[in-house]
């Protein structure tokens, strides 16, 4: 079946959740056919976090001081690498137009695409974060807190990035504009995530920054799919 014929106009009887699940499964299958796009963010993350110890100093005490910032800046930039492709391919082959005309909730369908983006980008980054943090001198006792903070942070970044991807959908070479839109708005995620990582490395409670990251994630889940759907509709007109 062609990727542009996944959603049919006659599928209005299908529930929104079922349609969203089908879109999620479709995006996951398609992603494994383009493995270079799948590996690129994770490879970039690994390269950046590995180069810092080589370029500064192998001394663990100094590496621990910069580890939270390095880890989160690398995670933020790695997430941005894959955002440009979030809606672009489906817009080019007409799939997004079929989604909009299918009778299904475009909000739910785009939320499913954003969830697929996080599963393919944010989740691997979260699983790789402890190893990157270990290379920067983070103790093993901090790994659980680091993973939890990166999970929430990358999820919030994916939701925020979906809005930017929708707004830049009709722009040629929109990757630069997408970065300019998303990076300033991602600063709270970067700040709270770095603070959670720093506290985890010190063995202190990470509850405060984690609550703030969770609040940003809940806000993103609530509002980002609606805003992304509105942006995509504008771009398709």
DSSP 66: H
Determine the longest span between alpha carbons in the chain, in angstroms.
63
Task: Say what the pLDDT of residue 6 is.
Answer: 41
Distance CA 99, CA 12 (A): 11
Q: Where are the domains of the chain?
A: 15-236
Task: Say what the pLDDT of residue 93 is.
Answer: 84
Strands (E), the chain: none
Task: Say what the pLDDT of residue 210 is.
Answer: 96
What is the secondary structure of 153-175 as a DSSP string? HHHHHHHHHHHHHHHTTTSTTTH
Q: Per-residue pLDDT tens, the chain, 237 aa: give them.
A: 444 444 444 444 468 888 899 999 999 998 888 777 778 888 899 888 888 777 776 677 778 888 898 899 999 988 888 887 788 888 888 888 888 888 888 999 999 999 999 999 999 999 999 988 888 888 889 999 999 999 999 999 999 999 988 888 877 766 778 888 888 899 999 999 999 999 999 989 999 999 999 999 999 999 999 999 998 888 887
Q: Which one, of 90, 150, 160, lies nearest residue 124 by Cα? A: 150
Distance CA 53, CA 79 (A): 22
Kindly report the pTM of this predicted structure: 0.85
**10: Cβ contacts below 8 Å, ≥ 6 apart:** none
Structure tokens at 37: 């796009």
Structure tokens at 116: 């697929």
Distance CA 186, CA 183 (A): 5
Task: Say what the pLDDT of residue 174 is.
Answer: 65
Task: Say what the pLDDT of residue 5 is.
Answer: 40
Task: Say what the pLDDT of residue 167 is.
Answer: 87
CA angle, residues 143, 122, 29, in degrees to nearest 5:
130
Task: Say what the pLDDT of residue 173 is.
Answer: 67
The dihedral region occupied by 137, where left means phi > 0, alpha psi between -120 and 50, and beta the remainder, is left
Burial of 36 (0-12, 13-18, 19+ CB in 10 A): exposed
Number of neighbours of residue 67 by Cβ within 10 angstroms: 27
DSSP 3: G
3-class state of residue 198 by DSSP: helix
Task: Say what the pLDDT of residue 4 is.
Answer: 41
């Amino acid at each position: 079946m062609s990727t542009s014929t996944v959603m049919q106009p006659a599928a209005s009887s299908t529930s929104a959740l079922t349609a969203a699940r089908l879109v999620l499964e479709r995006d996951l299958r398609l992603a494994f056919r383009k493995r270079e796009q799948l590996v690129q963010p994770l490879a970039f993350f690994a390269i950046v976090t590995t180069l810092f110890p080589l370029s500064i100093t192998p001394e663990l005490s100094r590496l621990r001081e910069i580890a939270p910032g390095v880890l989160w800046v690398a995670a933020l930039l790695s997430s941005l690498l894959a955002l440009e492709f979030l809606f672009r391919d489906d817009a080019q082959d007409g799939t997004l137009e079929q989604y909009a005309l299918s009778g299904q909730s475009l909000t739910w369908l785009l939320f499913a695409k954003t969830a697929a983006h996080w599963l393919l980008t944010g989740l691997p980054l979260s699983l790789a974060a402890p190893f990157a943090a270990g290379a920067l001198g983070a103790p093993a006792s901090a790994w659980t807190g680091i993973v939890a903070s990166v999970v929430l942070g990358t999820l919030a970044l994916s939701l925020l990035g979906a809005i930017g991807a929708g707004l830049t959908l009709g722009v040629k070479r929109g990757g630069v504009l997408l970065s300019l839109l998303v990076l300033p708005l991602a600063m709270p995620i970067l700040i709270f995530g770095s603070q959670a990582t720093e506290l985890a490395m010190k063995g202190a409670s990470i509850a405060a920054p984690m609550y703030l990251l969770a609040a940003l994630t809940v806000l993103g889940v609530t509002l980002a799919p609606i805003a992304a759907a509105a942006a995509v509709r504008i771009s398709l007109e």
